[in-house]
Structure 1
Amino acid sequence: MNKWTTRGLIFSALFAGVMIAMSYLKFTLPFSAVPITLQTLAVMLAGSILGARYGTLAILIVIGLAAAGFPVMGGQGGLAVLVGPTAGYIFSMPFAALFIGWCAQRMKQNKYTFFKLAGVNLIFGVLLVYPGGVSWLAHSVPGIDTVSKALTAGMWPFLPGDIVKSLLGASVAAAVWRVYPIERILNSDTGGWGSQEETPASR
């Protein structure tokens, strides 16, 4: 397994800041306890640009700061946020970044890069997050006592926007890859978790 690198840790901290900033861009729906934010876009970008290890770390940094009481979740923080109605979505995000990053590390850049990233974002950045998020929402909010109500409050209104985010995230990541490949973050030849550290002879 690759060693942790200073470069990767710095980028993880930077993307944690990006996620915090994006969490402030939100608006609420009158029929749901779940706000619409750009946090899921930040998760997609973290995974696809930083890879599995550092992308996941970026999300865990934000969750850790929230647990410590810092207002990093749309101006809110503390343990109450991590057990509130949106907790299921929050704790699904590190797994989303992990799987997006795992796939991104193994992608070859070609004319289909955008479509591959968009598919990975949709599967892991959107569809993976909903089961835990909607289930916890139904558990924690009184009155959500049917599957239909749970989906209306926690999935259907957000799905179109999340699809757009998956496309936008893929577009941004593909553009970043052209000038700053993911291998530079990982400091490795192949970008895999088990690859050797890059040496001058291998560049």
Structure 2
Amino acid sequence: MKKWTTRGLIFSALFAGVMIALSFFKIYLPFSAVPITLQTLAVMLAGAILGARYGTLAVLIVIGLAAAGFPVMGGSGGMAVLVGPTAGYILSWPFAAFLIGLCAERTQQNKYTFPKLLTANFLFGALLVYPGGVWWLAHSTGMDSLNKALTAGMWPFIPGDLIKAVLCAGVVTAVRQVYPMERILNSDNGGWAEGEHPPLSR
């Protein structure tokens, strides 16, 4: 098992900050307790750029800070956030980041990188999150029908999540052309991937 690196931990903390910042971009819908936010995009980016371990850690940092009472969820914090109507989505994020990260780690940089990352982002960053999110939303708000729960917690968010998945895949594909995942996280050899060597100094 690969050891944790200082560089990876730093990137996890940085992406946690990105996730907190993006949480303030939200649009409230009149028929739902779930706002449209950019936090899902941050979860996708964390997994796709940092991989399974560090991407998951970034998400867990934010959830841990929220549990401790820090206002890291769009200005809100405390256990009330983690048991409120959106708790099902929030608690699904670490699993989403982990699975996206696993797929990203196994995706080579080639002409199929974008569609593979897009599929992983949407499948795990959106579709995987909906079941737990919709179920808890219905349970916590007392909805008495599946149709109401889907209308309030899933259908309106699919187009936006697809756009986020496309945006994330495009950003990560571009980043990988300059900085592969190994180069970002590996601090043992100065950030160069295994088999690569930094240029000799003159």
Instruction: Please tell me the TM-score bracket, short chain as reference.
Output: over 0.9
State the alpha-carbon separation in 2 of the partners of residues 36 and 201 from structure 1.
Answer: 40
Structure 2: gaps (5+ residues): 197-202
Aligned match of 2:200: none
Measure how far apart 1:63 and its partner are: 0.2
The answer to whether residue 124 in structure 2 is matched with residue 124 in structure 1 is yes
State the alpha-carbon separation in 2 of the partners of residues 57 and 168 from structure 1.
Answer: 22
State the alpha-carbon separation in 1 of the partners of residues 136 and 183 from structure 2.
Answer: 38
1:106–1:145 Cα change, 3 Å = same
1:201–1:81 Cα change, 3 Å = closer
Measure how far apart 1:200 and its partner are: 9.2
Which string of whole-angstrom CA distances, capped at 9 and with x for unpartnered residues, describes residues 10-34 of structure 1?
0000000000000000010011000
Q: TM-score, normalised by structure 2?
A: 0.92
Structure 1: gaps (5+ residues): 189-197
State the alpha-carbon separation in 2 of the partners of residues 199 and 75 from structure 1.
Answer: 38
Q: What are the residue-to-residue correspondences of 1:103-118 with 2, within 5 Å?
A: 103-118=103-118
Aligned match of 1:195: none
Q: What are the residue-to-residue correspondences of 1:19-168 with 2, within 5 Å?
A: 19-142=19-142, 144-168=143-167
State the alpha-carbon separation in 2 of the partners of residues 61 and 145 from structure 1.
Answer: 34
Measure how far apart 1:111 and its partner are: 1.0
State the alpha-carbon separation in 2 of the partners of residues 164 and 178 from structure 1.
Answer: 22
State the alpha-carbon separation in 2 of the partners of residues 16 and 200 from structure 1.
Answer: 24
1:200–1:82 Cα change, 3 Å = closer
Measure how far apart 1:187 and its partner are: 2.2
Q: TM-score, normalised by structure 1?
A: 0.92
Amino acid of the structure 1 residue aligned with 2:162? I
Alignment partner of 1:158: what SS? Answer: helix
Amino acid of the structure 1 residue aligned with 2:124? F
Runs of 4+ deviating beyond 4 Å: 198-201
- What fraction of aligned residue pairs are identical, expressed as a percent? 74
**What is the RMSD of the two structures over their aligned residues, measured on CA atoms?**
1.5
Total equivalences in the alignment:
193
1:152–1:7 Cα change, 3 Å = same
